[in-house]
Structure 1
């Protein structure tokens, strides 16, 4: 098997070398309706065959079920992949509970649980999923650094951090990657986080680079277009008049896609890659999918280059998007800018 089909980039100045596009695995276990697990397993294998080497999960996805699902794949390909997981979002038997914990005791508890579920002895990239501002950041990152010293974690990452927070954390221990939402629809990270990452040599890992699927052009009305159990039915950008407004914004995306014989999804992913180049930033988007056909479509975006004129046509979109990223934005970096 060769992983030379996709270009590679380094996460941070001393981090691992990974494919320029990774795979987000969250939807294989939760949030997007029912999953065909056999098809999802095939998608994991197809991703690696296509050259994808960064596989992203978190302990909160399916309350650990996603890590358990990935364990056989991880075990079969441990030396070929870079495995990323996350801690901080605490879930209980109460389906509505979403606590955030960054205290050292919880971090030590979380890494042991993730290692057990993933059936591995080391995590390649360990993220703080969200920040609790009541816990000093240096205290949390210091506890994460201890995991590196113990050999349980190779590299550290952060998610949804401001530029100032990234600088503070990086001063405690080198940060390899910052993961936050970044897409044609969501550009608030460009206020401070993107610049700080470029300055520090930290790679950026955009999650939801397809706007949770909206940028594919598949959804105009979440109430009608999405199955029961899909969390997007309750996301502001997918509902009511917001959905209609946002669907209309995709016209230039479709036009550019048609000109290249590409898809809207490929244009959106190519935009993220080229937008990062503007900032002098290493970037690894992690679009999620459960289908091999979509996986191969997404990988195809790594071979698409948009012209300057096309990038200009896409530039105004984010400023016209209706609705927030989440119903509650309080735990995102945007709330702390």
Structure 2
């Protein structure tokens, strides 16, 4: 299949995106637009100069720029505009359901009210759901380079909003710098979130070791592992992931951009998939890493020689791994099955 045909096939695949940081969808053009709207100076002379800065050596070098970019988000309208821009791209890529991570601590630490963050993002999600039928959930993520107490403080600030946003806010995540911030640092806050019946996910096994994946499962009791590509370093863990069909929300272009792999052809996604792991493809922070979810499918398919059947399996995995109720999930799986026939 030539590239245009493969791209069209991938865009048509009904799919879910499960690993997407909404702050990571801020394209340089929108950063400049929001900076001007909010009368903020940014240390780049042009869109091109900012985009040229997206040459990362590791996760931390990306995070430094990521947090700087997020500083232009001030008002409810800013968060709304950012979210709508992502949802338009997701729809064009065949996404029928998105589970979106957001980092309130990135904003509250700058004096932006958590109510503002929720209101802007949720308004966009609800409008798109009403207009197009594309469903979405929010996963409020704690920053792991900050303390567990700060995570507790964030949860306390957010909980009064739960009833108001219970149609979209269903889960808790853990992201930011992995090295030096093991899962057990957040054991108590995740235990509390489990008591509150939130769905739980955590980043593990991106730059951190396979042991972080095991600890995310055993200490944090998460249902999905975000990234998880280092799991192969522990054969017993791999057997467990395959046996229990623990979803791995893999982000190939992110792994390439952050030097987790030196070349996409070296990525272990196809190997994990062919061993029977519940692998999904996602875009992570697409404005910074060179592609939204469709481009991640396309680039990975070309680099690793994925078949149409394997691409269909990846799309099915994404739908089966999402947090939608069973009846809604079956509707989306039926659309995928109709597409694959």
Question: TM-score under structure 1 normalisation?
Answer: 0.49
Between Structure 1 and Structure 2, which shows a larger proportion of helix residues? 2
